[in-house]
Chain A
């Protein structure tokens, strides 16, 4: 016994000793206090080192932030308990994003299903009345615990179109506000018109109770939303069969099934967008017409001819100017609400969690994972340097290569930090801003509707844009040479709808890749050539999965050429248009990739050992090219030795004018040294470089790229969303004959909101019946204050009762509009007291 007691004692001691050992590495450094001088001198990222590690359980997020082991989590969190814990934890903070929505999809076939059962939702008036049956505030505040905002319209409340159409939107929202009595009256009228009768409070049709089948998603909060909707419908006399289904089971019924079979009447749907959509005009076609999708449900849609025509015009961008587009959108919104094959309920908010001493720009739609500016803004508050640990639910989910590698959002988030694109999207407006461009010139042909919002580019119109004959239009994979417009179109001039001239910053081609190689024109040209090679059936690099995308590109692409290399000026021609000139420039700017790493992939795919894309890898039974880990590394090592030995330059006939012989040797030597020190082939040019990859242990390390050309504070002004906070002051009761003065304060974090950042402030005045009684702009009073005087005559026109004054602010710095309501009552003139 004594011997065993000693053994047990030793084991226990070992366990306790192991537990009490200090963590296997030093505590994370939080850097040094930031000074203006140090900030101005620093290049690249604001922190020194960032570790990504796998952590998929949102329940642990708050605890890990509080203990200091992690500084942020990249996944958006929708859990209400976690959100509450984050809100209450002193060591944790969060950013909100608005990328997903919840709606109610209705089955519009009918008026009866194939088996003769009644489908009330065939009637647009019944569908429309449902808006008033649903209390969206209750759903947002109670069912989603504040992690949602009410939504009525087919456009997101967080995206620019909503702000642009705020007046129309607000008026519609009030028209369709929660009013169950009105909803019940409309539905009762229409049900009777369908031949239904109400007996003992229940609707019957042909002697049978009218039973609605509500398909309720049971894998998130939509379960509670579905129950609430079912209760509301039961309250007005319907029997409701609640069918709880997960995503897959539900999709078999509502997407793949025949709606005429009557397996469902209503479905609690949801949609996600991970980027700010600056143009949502397509939504009308997508969600209300048979053109939206080929599935049976969409083919059952029968929009009114006016809505159908408007949706098609908006889809084709068939409008003369922006004002006409806005008018079409406003009318389409109105008609969509009348049609209501879909009822949007809320825009969901998700939470990007971070430590309270960490600051980073999170995207309004995509959160931290969707932000393009996170690598440029991540820092400890008021400090420079230091290291952080980010938790991510997925790491290296699929192989990484820049041509057709992993497209997973969490992998893409990391690779964004390793690249230095010519333009970056503003995380709060979605508008592109220049990163490597000095400026751009955009020219559009007559009839192309395009707006410019920022002043880093110019916009002009031209009757006709002719593509120069020396511009490159294609690639001859057989002969390995570029094809010019002159060769491809000997019959005459080729025209385009848009021309973009990109002026890069001075010394752009003198900047370096992470392995020390100098950037060159070949880095811009090779990815473009590769796109053609991969779409050419005669090429050994042909990839059938790439072809459809490439064909779409060829439909609008009209050529490009390099006008100058110092400074670099590129001109690109296309028939593709966007509502924003900034987006057009971003779409035309080529993204450079290091030609020497691509060369190894090209060699490996030609020899049938690796493939750039998943599809090609599966088809040929080989490995998908992975530049950072796995079996690809050994293969790439062989090809690096070969390429270095024979000074291999892919597509030499096309690239050799841009690459000197010495550069070839220098590039491969640099890559060799890079691989020897880092153990992988991912060479980027962003503010971070990939320092180490540990695929089995599920972590990777980024380090600051010290040779990054920009100062570290370049994007700091966009660290936080400039959300305006609106408050009103004014009388609550106005007597007849009096005027009323209402004040509006616009602030942000207690300071007046910058006047230059305000796009517009408007007001809407609604009378007691919810009718629009007036609109206009308040007068500026300075220092974030606005005033509006409602004179006696105007108030008298409203009549006695409760009225609503709505202020709407649209900002140039954030897509989310600001709202404030002022409710007041007008009293009738006092009657003279009667004499006794």
Chain B
């Protein structure tokens, strides 16, 4: 009977806790998305820029078209005005920005991503969801591969190094850790120069060969195109990751209970699994999940350098076009993913860490 009451109470506290967290996260998402809308539109000042741009484009189109060459200036200007009016209406620039921003917000919060204003998916769709979904696999594949590789290699190597503190390899890793000050795209440029131009072994960019081969050849081509960007990302973060995890494990490896286990003569693998990894599981999972949702954003410059058709370059184009729905679409999905991850982590902490329940009990008792 006692355990059941305890579980019920714990679940009640947990539910209350989660509801509060959920509301807080929703408010956070709401504020974050609205700030994005305001910033992306420079508080509405983009409207003026767009009007100027629309007018200039309309004028140049009419001026360059031989069909209108014989028109008098007044007629031509009237034609330009009509074209401008149509475009202003299409982009709803005739409505106040405040109203539009609220409309953007309520749609975004409902995940109704709507239609892009300027951009299209590569296949030709104007729906923001299509545009994003089309680029998602490329980003997940590239960044997923690189980040998972970095994560597991870093954690595994760090555990190994934490047992060989002060050794030659350990000192080498420490020496190489500052190499991560340079971003992935920086290494990418050199890798392209070395392996695509000086010793042309690998393609300098793109996702597959053009035209794409079929079947197994497609997979091989894809792997060849991934080698350099993955190498660039791994190079830029592997040493500092190993260094960080190794330091983290070293701290935990010097805890009294670990020393006690060692003193008891327990095998080192058992000490790693039970006395180091288990207590550090929460931060490892946190790090892993945040790394996973980080995949969503891609990397603008790295994708540009490698001509990789991912979400980073999509966002870059959207900013260039000032395509607010696409920018909002990318941000709101990232915001929701982040919120869900944070909520999930809260839940996991509650399940993994008894102190969360104790905290609830303490509050209940007060």
A-side residues, CB < 8 A to B, are 4, 15, 18-21, 23-25, 51-57, 60, 63-64, 66-67, 69, 248, 251-252, 255-256, 272-275, 279, 282, 285-286, 289, 291-295, 315-317, 389, 396-400, 544-545, 547-549, 552-553, 556, 576-578, 583, 587, 615, 617-619, 621, 623-624, 626, 628-632, 692, 694-701
Q: Which residue of B lies closest to A274 (CB)?
A: B64
Assuming A24-B213, A53-B206, A67-B200, is B66 touching A578 (CB within 8 A)? yes
Q: Which residues of A contact B79 (CB under 8 A)?
A: 548-549, 552
20 examples of A-B residue contacts, CB within 8 angstroms: A19-B201, A24-B224, A53-B206, A54-B206, A60-B192, A66-B197, A291-B74, A293-B80, A396-B124, A399-B120, A544-B86, A548-B79, A548-B83, A549-B79, A553-B67, A694-B212, A696-B134, A697-B207, A697-B212, A699-B211
The A-B contact count (CB < 8 A) is 190
Residues on A with C-beta less than 8 A from B211 are: 51, 692, 694, 697, 699-701
What residues of B have a CB within 8 angstroms of the CB of A624 in the complex?
Answer: 120, 124, 126
A556 with B223: CB separation less than 8 A: no
Closest to B220 in A: A24
Residues of B within 8 A of A291 (CB): 73-74, 77
Q: A18-B227, A24-B221, A552-B75 are in contact. List 5 more A-B contacts (CB 8 A).
A: A63-B197, A66-B197, A282-B63, A292-B73, A699-B212
> Which of B49, B72, B83 contacts A251, CB < 8 Å?
B49
Question: Which chain A residues border B204 with CB–CB below 8 Å?
Answer: 60, 63-64, 69
Q: Which of A273, A389, A556 contacts B210 (CB 8 A)?
A: A389
Chain B's closest residue to A545 (CB) is B86
Evaluate contact between A583 and B126: CB separation under 8 angstroms.
no
- Evaluate contact between B64 and A552: CB separation under 8 angstroms: no
Residues of B within 8 A of A630 (CB): 121, 123-125
What's the minimum C-beta distance from B162 to chain A, rounded to whole angstroms?
Answer: 15
Neighbouring A residues of B134 by C-beta, 8 Å:
696
The answer to whether A67 and B207 touch across the interface, beta carbons within 8 angstroms, is no
Q: Choose among A18, A251, A628 the residue that contacts B223 (Cβ–Cβ < 8 A).
A: A18
C-alpha gap A553/B203 in the complex (Å)? 50
In the complex with contacts A18-B224, A694-B212, A697-B208, A251-B52 CB distance below 8 A: yes
Complex CA–CA separation, A251 to B48 (angstroms) = 10
Cα–Cα distance between A597 and B298 once the two chains are bound (Å)? 39
- With an 8 A cutoff between CB atoms, is B252 at the interface? no
The reply to whether A698 and B122 contact each other, CB–CB distance below 8 Å, is yes
B208 x A273 contact (CB < 8 A)? no
Top 8 A-B pairs ranked by shortest CB distance?
Answer: A630-B124, A630-B123, A53-B210, A291-B73, A699-B210, A626-B124, A399-B124, A24-B221
| B residues neighboring A (CB under 8 Å) | 48-49, 51-53, 55-56, 59-60, 63-64, 66-75, 77, 79-83, 86, 90, 115, 120-126, 130, 134, 160, 192, 195-197, 200-213, 217, 220-221, 223-224, 227, 304-305, 307, 309
Out of A252, A294, A692, name the residue touching B77 (CB < 8 Å).
Answer: A294
Looking at A15, A20, A548, which has the most chain B CB atoms within 10 Å of its CB? A548
**A56→B206 CA distance, assembly (Å):** 11
Return chain B residues, CB-CB under 8 Å to A697.
206-208, 210-212, 309
Q: Are A55 and B77 in contact (CB under 8 A)?
A: no
Contacts of B217 in A (CB 8 A): 24-25
On chain A, the residues within 8 Å of B201 by CB distance are 19-20
Is the beta-carbon distance between B123 and A23 smaller than 8 angstroms? Answer: no
Q: How far is the CA of A699 from the CA of B218 in the complex (A)?
A: 14
B residues less than 8 Å from A21 (CB atoms): 220, 224
Give Cα distance in the complex from A805 to B328, angstroms.
Answer: 65
CB atoms of B213 and A398 under 8 A apart: no
Chain A residues with Cβ below 8 Å from B75 are: 552
**Residues A285 and B73 in contact, CB atoms below 8 Å apart:** yes
For the complex, give the distance between the alpha carbons of A293 and B115 in Å. 32
B62 CB to closest chain A CB (Å) equals 9
Q: Which of B52, B160, B195 has a CB less than 8 Å from the CB of A19?
A: B195
Asked, given contacts A251-B49, A548-B82, whether A618 binds B64 with beta carbons under 8 Å apart, the answer is no
Bound complex: CA A835 to CA B214 (Å): 101
Alpha-carbon separation in the docked complex, A275 to B60 (Å)? 13
| Bound-state Cα–Cα, A23 to B203, Å | 9
Residues of B within 8 A of A54 (CB): 206, 307, 309
Look across to chain B and name the residue whose beta carbon is closest to the beta carbon of A390: B210
Asked if B55 and A295 sit within 8 Å, CB to CB, the answer is yes
Determine whether the beta carbon of B67 is less than 8 Å from that of A587.
Answer: yes
Q: Is there contact, CB below 8 Å, between B124 and A632?
A: yes
Write the chain B residue with the least CB distance to A694.
B212
C-alpha gap A317/B55 in the complex (Å): 26
Residue of B nearest to A290 (CB): B73
Q: Which one of B48, B86, B126, B205 lies within 8 Å of A252 (CB-CB)?
A: B48
User: How far apart are B283's CB and chain A's nearest CB, in angstroms?
Assistant: 24
A631 touches B125 (CB 8 A): yes
Query: Does A583 lie within 8 Å of B212, measured CB to CB?
Result: no
In the assembled complex, which residues on chain B have CB atoms less than 8 Å from the CB atom of A623? Answer: 124-126
CA distance A148 to B26 in the complex (A): 56
Give the residues in chain A near B126, CB-CB below 8 Å.
Answer: 617-618, 623-624
Given A18-B227, A617-B126, A629-B124; A316-B72 close (CB under 8 Å): yes
CB atoms of A696 and B49 under 8 A apart: no
Residues from chain B with a CB closer than 8 A to the CB of A544 are 86
Given contacts A54-B307, A286-B63, contact A25 B70 (CB under 8 A): no
- Given A51-B210, A399-B124, A617-B126, A15:B227 Cβ within 8 A: yes
In the complex, what residues of B have CB within 8 A of residue A55's CB?
205-206, 307
The CA-CA distance from A470 to B281 in the complex, in Å, is 87
Q: Is the CB of B67 within 8 A of A552?
A: yes
Query: What's the least CB distance linking A108 to chain B, in Å?
Result: 18
Q: Which of B70, B123, B213, B305 is within 8 Å of A696, CB to CB?
A: B123
A624 to B201, CA, bound (A): 41
Question: Using Cβ atoms and an 8 Å threshold, which residues of chain A touch B69?
Answer: 279, 282, 578
> In the complex, A399→B120 CA distance in Å?
8
B83:A695 contact, CB within 8 angstroms: no
Residues in A neighbouring B206, C-beta threshold 8 A: 53-55, 697-698
Chain B hits for A67, CB < 8 A: 196-197, 200
Q: How far is the CB of B140 from chain A (nearest CB, A)?
A: 14
Q: Which of chain A's residues has its CB closest to B231's CB?
A: A15
Q: Is the CB of B123 within 8 A of A556?
A: no
Residues of B within 8 A of A255 (CB): 52, 55-56
B132–chain A nearest beta-carbon distance, Å: 13
Closest to A553 in B: B67
Q: What is the chain A residue whose CB lies nearest that of B137?
A: A696
A824, B260: Cα distance in complex, Å: 101
Beta-carbon nearest neighbor of A253 in chain B: B52
Q: Which residue of B lies closest to A16 (CB)?
A: B201
Please judge, given known A-B contacts A256-B48, A556-B70, whether A19 and B210 are in contact too, CB under 8 Å.
no
Nearest residue, chain B, Cβ from A275: B64
Q: Which residues of B contact A64 (CB under 8 A)?
A: 204
The 8 Å CB contact of A294, one of B64, B66, B81, is B81
Chain A residues, Cβ within 8 Å of B56: 251, 255
Q: Within the complex, which residue of A295, A396, A576, A619 is in contact with B90, where a contact is CB–CB below 8 Å?
A: A619
Q: How far is the CA of A576 from the CA of B64 in the complex (A)?
A: 16
**B304 CB contacts on chain A under 8 angstroms:** 56-57
Interchain nearest-CB distance for B299 vs A (Å): 16
Point out the residues of chain A lying under 8 angstroms from B55, CB to CB. 255, 295
